[in-house]
Amino acid sequence: MRRPHLLVYTWSIEPRTGARELVTVRFTPRGAAAEVSVVHERILDAVTRERHRAGWNGCFDRLQAYAGGGANSIA
């Protein structure tokens, strides 16, 4: 049986018209560890995009500290 490896969901902080933001989280086995990649799409403007980038980086920093190492980066 293959372990779950993909999570896809929509995201919206405030009610809005049009398409919601789309978040795709992929888990790729790397030996005893896993690589986690996040693609966050359909963000309406640069200010919101920067807030999400900072938020995701904060999440990965905390996850890295909890797990005890590894690299993280969100461009």
Residue pLDDT, tens place only, 33-75? 888 899 999 998 899 899 999 999 999 899 888 887 655 555 5
Residues 22/8, Cβ–Cβ less than 8 Å: yes
DSSP code at position 68: T
Looking up tokens 């896993």, which residue turns up? 34
**pLDDT reported for residue 11:** 85
Q: Is the pLDDT score of 6 beyond 90?
A: yes
* Token pair listed for 26: 């992929």
pTM of the entire predicted model: 0.76
Q: Which amino acid is at 50?
A: E
Strand spans (E) along 1-75:
6-11, 21-30, 33-41
